[in-house]
Structure formats: structure tokens, C-alpha cells
Chains A and B, each alone.
Chain A
Amino acid sequence: MPGFDYAPAPESRSIVDIKPSYGLFVSGEFVDPVDGTAFKTISPATEEVLAEVATAGPSDVDRAVQAARSAYASVWGTMSGRDRAKYLYRIARIVQERARELAVLESLDNGKPIRESRDVDVPLVAAHFFYYAGWADKLAHAGFGPAPQPIGVAGQVIPWNFPLLMLAWKIAPALACGNTVVLKPAETTPLTALVFAEICQQADLPPGVVNIVTGAGETGAALVNHPAIDKVAFTGSTEVGRLIAKAVAGTRKRVTLELGGKAANIVFEDAPIDQAVEGIVNGIFFNQGHVCCAGSRLLVQESVADQVLESLKRRMTQLRVGDPLDKNTDIGAINSAEQLDRIRRLSEIGSSEGAERWSAPCELPDRGFWFAPTIFTGVTQAHRIAREEIFGPVLSVLTFRTPAEAVEKANNTPYGLSAGVWTEKGSRILAMADRLRAGVVWANTFNKFDPSSPFGGYKESGYGREGGRHGLEAYLAY
């Protein structure tokens, strides 16, 4: 099939001014870590070193927690909701004003296409702050009693797949409810969180309300286990979520966990096939498949399986893989060498267990971390690629004959984060939505997010909701 030729259309990176090194953001200022160690953050598309970032050790985490506690006691916990709201509105506006810069930086550090960071991530970040700003002075009307109170200091640990958006999901509701935070961004994607720290300065947010500590897993563990935090919010793998749940047992810290998924995307024979194929592509290849709610298991009704697969393969050959800053790019770089290893390893297991592998023909850049969009057919429920979260652009295709079989297969997983249903029959959509054990069900659409819409998992996909009125609960005592 002939491809379309596109001239390169790179977004300029001159709008971004990356400093050679970044400290920790504590009490409203960038400070050096106590033991002075740092790590490098790279662009996964080129392996170019973008900046050096401080590693927060236990004493740095302690300092940040004390700053948050002090800000909670002296200013933020006692401030009126009306005034807290105004700070959050300021932040939302500054994010909008600096949107292009944030989008470029996010694509540089994360590897995601500029089209996604520009059109999805950053607009949702601003919207999230704007949404929760409005709640700050209305908490008494949110259904958590007449006088809900903040909890205190929240320790928040976020992943690398949507770095700034996950920051917004954590910080906006926490601050709206009167809590202060110490947030640890992922070690491969710290830069937008550090620019967010500058945004807090520009907004004149009182020092200590937001503190950002950079580092890897040890930093996160020091934060989660710190005795002076009252609340843990984590987004990441189910494996680490389990460790956190165990670590906080007995401490009385409040916990919310947004963990892994293995979503079924179910296509019935009466579905509009072209739209469904777009939804399948969006479901698994959006953000390189680095999405906890990705539609990584395609369940297609047997009668249309050949037609859907043919159409899907044709569509996949049109996907443009490459430079994240190119505005034509559909699929960017895999976030890290480590993640690329995991995707390759599980894909090899898929082949060795007998599934049939097909990858879209595409040229991959020489440097950086890349993986061609890939589907496996002939997958059974016993295959590891049907059970384990790959967190990459790899789709496992299974078939079914009846709605009951589709439900059975869709729910046959310890996860329960999301699911998709494609059919023109309204009553079937509603019946399926009732029976799918997942926190988000997208019917005739997929991977849609909104600050007013609660998001979170059933079963081992974690507990608690982010977004909407429900998202306040994690940050209120009532």
C-alpha cells in the first residue's frame, strides 16, 4: 500500500528553556539536595541528556514534608476556600499561558507526540485545576457532611506516562480541599513537574503548599513511609501499589491507588467497523500504549473478526511513528530503555506461546527507544500477553461468539480499570456496561478523560477515584 509522503513538521523547541540542572522544590524555592547527588533525564527519542535533576534522599524528603506540614498548619489549612480557589484559578491560567512550552517539554522528556501533549495532556491539566478551583469554596455542598475538613499533608507519587496530567490529578483536588502536598514525579519525566514548581512561584502560592522531590523508587518509598504524612496517593503499577498498601498498613494513613489494567475493548458484529477500528487504534496506540486504561485486549465477535483485523492492519500501516515533536507523528518514543525491554520481552513470550505477531511496517529511528505498533492474533486467555499489562503499543486479539462469552472473557482478569464496547444496539451497550467490572466503560468511544468525570479501578486496579465530585473524597475527613 502506498504511503502518504509528509514533509517534516517539527514543533520548535526554542520555546523551552531547559536549565542544565534542577534542585528540589521545597518551601517555595529550588534547593540543593543534602547529599548533592543527581541523575540525568534524557529524551527517549534521541537519548540526548536534557538536564541533571537532584536526587532527594530521606533527609530531603523529610525537609519537604516538614515544609508541607508547616504550610498546612500556618496558612493553607486555615485559609478560606474562597482564597484557595483563587490560587488554583491562577495556576490554571498560567498553565494555559505556558501551554505550548509545557507541551514541548512534555514531548521532549516523555517521548509522546506533540499532538497529544498539545491537544490532550496540557489542556486537561489546565481544565483540572480550573475544575477543582471551583470546588474549594463549595466543599460543604459536596455530599461529605456540612463541614468536611482537609486531611493534612499528602505524599503523592506519580508515573511517567502522563507526567504533568498526573500531577494535576493529584495536586488540584488536594489543594482545593485544603491539604498541602509533597509530590514525587517519575525519574524519567521530572521536567514538567519542575516547571510546574515555577508556575507555583509565579502564582505566589504560599511556600510549602506544593513541594516537589525528584528521584527514583527510594525517594518515593521515603515519602510514602514518612511518619508525618497523612495521606498517600499513588498512580503506577499494581506491583508497587501492593507494596504501598502493605507498607502503610497499621499507620492510619489514608490511601488511594490507581494501578494497572488489562482492558477489554469489545467489538460486536453490528458495530460501525470503521469507527471501531479508530477506537481500537486510539485504545491501544494512544501515548504508545503507555496507558493504564489502554484497550490492550481486543475482543472481537467471530463473525466480523477477519473484516476488523484486515481494516485494523490497513489503518496501522498509516500510523506515523517517529519524532515526537513532529506534528504529524501518531506514535512517539517508548519512554525508557527499561520499558522497551519489558515490551520486547513480553512480545517474545507472546510469540513463543504460540500467538501470531504482526507489526506495522515502519522505519524506526536509529537512536532512542522505539517499538512498532504490533498486534497478536490467535491469543487465548491463558497467554501471558492476554493477562499481563504490557504498557506498550501491543494489542492482543481474542474472539467471542456471544455477549455472555464477551463479558466472561472481559472480566477474567484481576484488573478492572476500564473497558470498551462497540455496538449500534443501545440496550446491549447498557447491559454490557452493567456487567463489565471496570471503573470506566467507554461505549463507542475510548480513552476519553475529563476533570468532571471520576476515574479509577475495580479489584486490583486500585481504589479511590480521581476526577469529579468523587475525587474530593480522598482529600477530605468527614
Chain B
Amino acid sequence: MPTDRVDVRKTYKLFIGGAFPRSESGRTYQVTSAAGGFLANAALASRKDVRDAVVAARAAVPKWAGATAYNRGQVLYRVAELLEGRREQFAAEVTAFGEDPSTVHDAIDRWVWYAGWADKFAQVHGGANPVAGPYFNLSSPEPTGVVGIVAPAEPALLGLVSVVAPAIVTGNTVVILASEPRPLPAVSLAEVLATSDLPGGVVNILTGRPAETAPWLASHQDVNALDLTGVADPELATSLEQAAAGNLKRVVRPAAGPAWTADPGTARMAAFVETKTVWHPKGG
């Protein structure tokens, strides 16, 4: 490799409805490495970008929620395959932020783990209910709808994957506010998603300042649930929870920073499903 080659740099943009627009506000902000050096100008998303992302996420619900569980599992597994092929790139990105590159392997393995849940979660979470009467009675989980997620600031890829995969595997669509200081792996993940078979709009990723954009997500009437895992400021979290009460969003706010490498269990999937119970009489 010639060492004097001028490398081609990437423009880091938003990911909305399967496309990569710049922020409609035209704003960007500087992303720096752990050592303080310049890495990139990332898009600084605005309220309008949040709204556009919610529209895209809502539009994607029928197709994604209506896909078979087997199909969703296949699509998610395909994403893991593509992540594997790009793992050097992700390792370089997280290393620039001072993270251990092993978190990339953990992230890929976690994606595979969640992919496998697609056609199993309903069996574990739902089931037949032995009611005291001649009725068929079945409870099944269904996706909640559009989930707004404030992704954890770090680990940049593992944290992101750990909040996105459990939300979409059950059929939700998501709007993600990526890590403010470490957004680059999120944009690269968007590139992976865009070239996988994931329908456009299922995952929408906004870079920028969650403190600015999260309130618009929390108060949006067409968002059904809110994941505040990435909100560290308790005052901001409280105000977001208050805003979420407007249309009774389901809110997830873990008590402490999760241990990202531990077995995540099924709680995150369970947080963004609605249990539907169907009754029918039995009779000849």
C-alpha cells in the first residue's frame, strides 16, 4: 500500500426512511477522538428531522409488524452477516473513541442472539390461558408501534445494538438519537442496515444533541414508547418522562447503567410489546 495516498473521507449523515439526508437545518457538529483530534463533522439533527423520522417510522410499521417472525429473523441475521464483514471498520471507529474493539464482537454476537428471538419470543411471552369456561383464550405479544430511543453514549456500537435489536425484532420501528460524542458507528450501522434487507424506515438514526431533540421525540403524539437508556441527566430524564405522559408512552428508564456484556435477558423485548388476548367460545 502506498502510504502517500490521500484517503477518501466519509460524510456522516442522518438515516431516515432508508435514505441518508443531511439535517434539514443544515447544521453539523464536530466529532473528536479520545485524543481530542478531529474525526468528522456529523449532522446536527433538528426538530424537523425528528418529525420526519417519526413519519418514516410510522409508515414502516405495517410492513415490518406484518412480516412473518421467520422473515424478521432472517433479515436481522442478514444484518449480522453484514456487520461481520465490516468489523474492521467498526473496530477502528470504536478504537478512535478509546473503546475496546472486543465490544464490536460482542455487538455482532448480540445482534445474532436477538435475531434468533424473532420466532421464539411469542411462544415464551404469550400462551394459552386456562379460563374457567368453554372458551379458546390466547395471549400473544404484538409490537407497540413506533419506539423512540435515546441510545447510550457508550459503548458506541454495543450500546446501540443492545437497545435497537430488541425493539425491532418483535416488529416495532424505531427513531434513534445516537450517542452525541460517539456517533460514527451509528452512521456506519445505518449503512449496514441500508444494504441489508431491512425495509426503509424500520430504523431511523439521528445524530446530534439528544438534549435538544429528545424532548420533541418524547412529546410526539405518534410515538408509542420511549427508551431513555442513554439519558444520563436526571433532570432531562424527568422532563422527558413528563412529556411522554401526554399520550401515555411506555417508558423504559433503567435504574443503573446496564452491564453491557451481561446476558440481556428478555426484558427489553418485553418492554415494547403489547399483550393481546383473544377469546372465542367453543361449541359444536
Contact = CB atoms under 8 A, between A and B. Distances in A.
Nearest to A426: B280
A443 interface: yes
Nearest to B62: A435
A407 to B, nearest CB: 11
A127 B248 contact: no
B248 A433 contact: no
Interface of A: 127, 143, 145, 238, 241-243, 245-246, 249-250, 252, 257, 259, 414, 416, 429, 433, 438-445, 448, 450, 452-456, 458-460, 462-463, 465, 468-470, 473, 478
Contacts of B144: 458
Which secondary structure dominates chain B's binding surface? mixed
Nearest to B135: A448
A416 B143 CA distance: 13
B81 to A, nearest CB: 30
A442 B266 CA distance: 28
A452 B124 contact: no
Contacts of B250: 463
Nearest to B237: A250
B276 interface: yes
A439 B139 CA distance: 9
Contacts of A246: 241-242, 245
A267 to B, nearest CB: 15
B36 interface: no
B52 to A, nearest CB: 23
28 contacts: A143-B125, A143-B266, A238-B248, A245-B248, A246-B241, A249-B241, A249-B242, A249-B245, A250-B234, A433-B276, A438-B276, A439-B274, A439-B277, A440-B279, A441-B277, A443-B279, A444-B280, A445-B279, A445-B280, A450-B129, A450-B137, A452-B137, A453-B137, A453-B139, A453-B279, A454-B275, A458-B144, A460-B248
B63 to A, nearest CB: 14
A450 B278 CA distance: 12
Contacts of B276: 433, 438-441, 458
Nearest to B128: A452
Contacts, number: 107
Contacts of B241: 245-246, 249-250
In order of increasing CB-CB distance, the 8 nearest A-B pairs are: A250-B238, A249-B241, A245-B245, A450-B131, A246-B245, A249-B242, A443-B280, A453-B129
Contacts of B125: 143
A455 B129 contact: no
B246 interface: yes
A246 B125 CA distance: 29
A444 B274 contact: no
B277 A443 contact: no
Interface in B239-284: 239, 241-242, 244-248, 250, 253, 255, 265-267, 270, 274-281
Contacts of B279: 440-443, 445, 448, 453
Taking each of A145, A259, A453, which has the highest tally of chain B beta carbons within 10 Å of its own beta carbon?
A453
Contact of A127 (B132, B238, B255): B132
B21 interface: no
B224 interface: yes
B127 interface: yes
B130 interface: yes
Contacts of B85: none
B277 A242 contact: no
